[in-house]
Structure 1
Amino acid sequence: MSTPTAPWLIVALREVETKVKDKAFVISTVVTLLLIVGAVAFTGFMGNKTSTFSVVATDSLSYQVLAEAQNQRPDNVSLTISQETADQAGDRLSSQEVDATLVSSANQRELTLTGYDEVDPELRQLISTSMTTVLTRNVLSAHGVDPAALPSETDLKTAQLQGDAEKTSMVQAMALIFSFLFYMAALIFGMPIANSVIEEKQNRVVEILASTVRLRQLLAGKIIGNVILAMAQLLLFLGVGLLAAYLAPGQIPFLGVVSTVAGWFIVFFLGGFLLLAGIWAALGALATRTEDLQQSSGPIIGALVAVMFIGIYAKGSLLVIASYIPIVSSVAMPIRMLSGDVPLWEALLSLTVLLVVCWAVLLFSERIYRRAVMHTGGALTLRKAIKLEV
């Protein structure tokens, strides 16, 4: 004799099956995965790309400029220089043996950089900077001034009391990713909970279901089903993104830190999404039409936008405070942890606060749902729903 399946599990599986069979959902998921892989691959490729240029000078001044460019070039630029006659340089450029030629004017004040069909912007910028350095040095020397004695832009050094610039860039990039993933999941999987509740109220299907399934289990099934979908998609996105980063050409810095914090983000995401799922279910129960939901969901959508912007732009004390505020902490605390200077007890305290508030909201939302889901006489306010009999 087989054991009967729990009603909440049946509802949850129905929610998952319905979403998985939705072509729009499948296509959007696949497209997002391709974008993630493409973005990671492009970042790795561009970070390790080396630009190679070959330039011929036709006189001593232009060769000085090329020699200066050789000294000033960044590590990801390879520059081959030589000096030949104007005719030889022109022939080599015409046959595309070199990328450009550099010729100075008769008054030694201007130079012309000539390419075959175009001049690469990166090469132009390098030569322009070097030309300014060489011509300035020559003018100063002609007036008896030692160029080495003058201050230059390289005399300004930058430093940070904590961390480093490369890590700061990583934190900013991951803050955008974490915030955007949470915002999209809250809308893609949260709002359908409310819409499903409204649809069942309008079609009076909930009355039939209530005769065989407890309303508490019906609500639990809806929430759990969408939590499974949201977590599965999040794990898929993060997993594919991290795998692509590991396999990408070159080494992406701080990948180990990102992988560790991604695990914490998943845990905080679960607590924050459960809290929002309870709110969405309550909003659906209070409404009787989709139009009612559009009006009542404004504050929660506004809150989600605020969470996203706080996650992306908040710093210092504001970010610390946000990391202890439920829902916002789902993004803020993982972002703080990327810096590596957050004690474990702070992360656990933030998570505890989030889960406690989540549990309280779910209990309250379940109470509202049981009282309001059978009501079909128009939209309810929260106060009226609390006064209704179960």
Structure 2
Amino acid sequence: MSAVTAPWLVVALREVETKVKDKAFVISTLVTLLLIVGSIAASAFFANRNTEYSVVATDELSYQVLQGAQDEHPDDVSLTISQTDAATAEQQLSAQEVDATLSSGNGGKDFTLTGFDEVDAQLQDLISSSMTSLLTDQLLSQAGIDSSQLPTADELKVTQLEGDSERTAMVRAMAFLFSFLFYMAALLFGMPIANSVIEEKQNRVVEILASTIRLRQLLAGKIIGNVILAMVQLLLFISAGLLVAYLAPGEIPFLGVVAQVAGWFVVFFLGGFLVLAGIWAALGALATRTEDLQQSTGPVVGALLAVLFIGIYAKGSFLVIASYVPIVSSVAMPIRLLSGDVALWEPLLSLAILLAACWAVLLFSERIYRRAVMHTGGTLTLRKALKLEV
């Protein structure tokens, strides 16, 4: 039989076709894609956005405050200042020609920042900081103290033994993304394998299929079809995210590192998903009704939640250990690779362990499937299933 008409390929293509024609699947894929693209684009936009403010002072002391704010403003803030009388400043604010006005009162002991309908919080913080510095300098000057000799917050230098803060933030963000994508794919494409097996058992379709195709090829087709769907969707999400990040204005730190590790994640994802696909298929064969499946899949869903939380929160030696545990390593090892402190042999060893586990689980699942899929007399345990004749 040619490769084109191989039974397992026919089954796989049927799984793909059924899913692609499912409107809910298509819509959820598009929505997720838009969320990924939108979040990356928004992050890049706000990260490179330069905020501009224009403020008018109504007296000399207020103008000094604005000068201090202009000297100390962050790199992503542009502050335009001017000075005029109170009446003109109010007219400019009413016409929305400026963002705010600043005036002093009570003998220069307090200040009033006025906006048209609101005052931006960032502008408030900037003016408040400058006002505090000015008033403090005045008080110190009256006491005969030079404010330049006083310690400031700038003298506190923050450092860390390993890596840097920007890379740590990147690792946290990508850890969440990798863990979430694996968790969603395992549920979205793994559960249908079990449901499909149960439906074929309930409708007796599997008995008809068994007369024309070997059960081993039927199972292989189901798993391969869902693997194709999961991998295509994953590659679509990752490619779109990296493309938007690359085309976004400004420079996104560690984009090259993320792109390299994304390739590792795809490989580890494939191994981890194959393990789970075999488990889902076996659970579907052991069950007789959908209600039975809901009970038996509890531990699997719990394990997926554990993978999700380990990927997001695990650190240090615990993350190192997790990176060699099959299924968990699908997210733990790529997360470690993001830090850049991993020798090449480590992901290769982890991948070898994952593939060995994948091979063992698929062989065991195929054995369970062939024995249990034709059984319709009630839910089976693993022990009972292994005792059944093929």
TM-score (norm 1): 0.98
Distance in 1 separating the partners of 2:134 and 2:338: 44
Contact 1:41 1:249 in 2 (8 A): no
1:155 alignment counterpart: 155
CA distances 1:338-376 after superposition (whole Å, capped 9, x unpaired):
111111110100000000011000000000111111111
Superimposed CA distance per residue, residues 249-308 of structure 1 (whole angstroms, 9 cap, x where no aligned partner)? 222111111111100000000000000000000000000000111001000100000101
Paired residue type of 2:16: V
Residue of structure 2 equivalent to 1:205:
205
Amino acid at match of 2:60: S
1:115 corresponds in structure 2 to 115
Deviation at 1:383, TM superposition (A): 1.1
User: Does the 8 Å contact 1:231/1:270 carry over to 2?
Assistant: yes
In structure 1, distance between residues paired with 2:387 and 2:151:
77
The 5 Å alignment of 1:39-58 reads 39-58=39-58
Shift of 1:3: 7.3
Rounded to whole Å, the distance in 2 between the matches of 1:2 and 1:95 is 78
Question: 43-52 or 149-158, which moves further after superposition?
Answer: 149-158
Give the count of matched residue pairs.
Answer: 390
Give the drift of 1:88.
2.6
Distance 1:375 1:92 in 2: 83
Q: What residue in structure 2 maps to residue 29 of structure 1?
A: 29
- Looking at structure 1, the residues matched to 83 and 309 of structure 2 have their Cα atoms a distance apart, in angstroms, of 55
The residue that corresponds to 2:17 in the other structure is: 17
State the AA in 1 paired with 2:42: F
- What SS does the corresponding residue of 1:145 show, helix, strand or coil? coil
Give the equivalent residue in structure 1 for 2:355: 355
- Residue-by-residue CA offset, 1:84-111 (whole Å, 9 max, x unaligned): 2222322322222221110010321110
Instruction: Tell me which residue corresponds to 2:71.
Output: 71
* Partner in structure 2 of residue 167 of structure 1: 167
Report the CA distance between 1:4 and its aligned residue: 6.8
Q: Distance in 2 between matches of 1:89 and 1:155?
A: 38
The answer to which of 202-211 and 181-190 deviates more is 202-211
2:113 alignment partner, SS class: strand
- Tell me the CA shift for residue 57 of structure 1: 1.2
Structure 2: where are the runs of 5+ without partners?
Answer: none
Moved more, 87-96 or 178-187: 87-96
**Is the contact made by 1:320 and 1:336 (CA closer than 8 Å) also made in structure 2?**
yes
Question: Hey, what's the Cα distance between the residues in 2 that align with 1:253 and 1:193?
Answer: 40
Asked whether the equivalents of residues 13 and 225 of structure 1 are also in contact (C-alpha less than 8 Å), the reply is yes
- Report SS of the residue matched to 1:159: coil
8 Å contact from structure 1 (residues 206, 374) kept in 2: yes
Q: Runs of 4+ in structure 1 displaced over 3 angstroms?
A: 1-4
DSSP-derived class of the 1:49 partner: coil
- 2:21 maps to a residue whose letter is K
What is the match of residue 271 of structure 1?
271
| Number of the residue aligned with 1:339 | 339
The aligned residue for residue 254 of structure 2 is 254
Aligned-pair identity in percent equals 75
> How does 1:186-335 map onto structure 2 within 5 Å?
186-335=186-335
CA displacement, residues 40-90 of structure 1 (integer Å, 9 cap, x when unaligned): 111111011011011111222212211111122110000011222222322
Q: Which amino acid aligns with 2:87?
A: D
Q: Which amino acid aligns with 1:243?
A: L
Distance 1:167 1:130, change over 3 A: same
Residues 196-245 of structure 1: CA deviation (Å, up to 9, x unaligned): 00000111111111111111000000000000000000001111111111
SS of the equivalent of 1:229 reads: helix
Amino acid aligned to 2:280: W
1:374 aligned counterpart, secondary structure: coil
* TM-score of the pair, normalised by structure 2: 0.98
Ranges in structure 1 where 5+ consecutive residues have no aligned partner = none
Shift in Å at residue 150 of structure 1?
2.3
Structure 1 counterpart of 2:102, which letter?
A: L
Distance (whole Å) between structure 1 residues aligned to residue 54 and residue 342 of structure 2? 49
Letter in 1 for 2:334: P
